[in-house]
Chains A and B, each alone.
Chain A
Amino acid sequence: EAQVTQNPRYLITVTGKKLTVTCSQNMNHEYMSWYRQDPGLGLRQIYYSMNVEVTDKGDVPEGYKVSRKEKRNFPLILESPSPNQTSLYFCASSLFGPDSDTQYFGPGTRLTVL
């Protein structure tokens, strides 16, 4: 089954404790991206990746890192999480790029930073 998976689905952590949210897709998609969703602000793009070893900033990259060492995985890293990073996070992938391709979204990761 074609899908995007994220782990963990729920995470409660404390300020400053490094964490990684994993994202994996099994569709051999070149394009992957991370979004955060906050009430009243909709979905905002954090980072995206056109292909292996190619990443770029989205609208709200501050406080986040990503890596794309292999095609199927695109982890989101919070080196020193802060309470303002409490949010619902979605990973997405598409074959080439979102402007002409369907994006497939993962189930979401709800992160709480205390």
Chain B
Amino acid sequence: LAKTTQPISMDSYEGQEVNITCSHNNIATNDYITWYQQFPSQGPRFIIQGYKTKVTNEVASLFIPADRKSSTLSLPRVSLSDTAVYYCLVGDGNDMRFGAGTRLTVKP
């Protein structure tokens, strides 16, 4: 089972770009990389998913290097409402494990 490692916390200011990196050295060939966002007392919400290279949607970009041993979630121009915990998940069959996540605090 691929284990993920993320920074425990990060601070940023409104309008800045935030990059959160996740390492997953034991990622398997068939694994996808998925990021979720969670606000207090709410269920996690899907942000983005990728397999390799770069994926972009309306809220974020996901960069995955060729060896796939890490991934970087990029949030452009964050606002106060982006303050949340961000989880990186790497699939291994059906047993998905959330790590402790990265607590992002966006300051005015």
**A interface: dominant SS:** strand
- Flag the segment in B15-23, B43-51, B69-77 that touches A: B43-51
Which chain B residue lies CB-closest to A106? B43
Q: Are B96 and A98 in contact, with the CB atoms below 8 A?
A: yes
Residues of chain B within 8 A (CB-CB) of A76 are: none
Contact B42 A107 (CB under 8 A): yes
- Nearest chain-A residue to B2 (Cβ)? A99
Interface status of A88 (Cβ within 8 A of chain B): yes
Please tell me the number of chain B residues within 8 Å of chain A, measured between CB atoms.
26
B81 sits at the interface (CB 8 A): no
Residues of chain A within 8 A (CB-CB) of B30 are 99
Q: Please give, as numbers and ranges, the residues of chain B lying within 8 Å of A103 by CB-CB distance.
A: 34, 36, 44, 46, 96
Given contacts A88-B41, A108-B41, whether A102 and B100 have CB atoms under 8 Å apart is: no
A100-B91 contact in complex given A90-B43, A108-B41, A108-B43, C-beta closer than 8 Å:
yes
Residues on B facing A (Cβ under 8 Å): 30-32, 34, 36, 41-46, 49, 87, 89-101
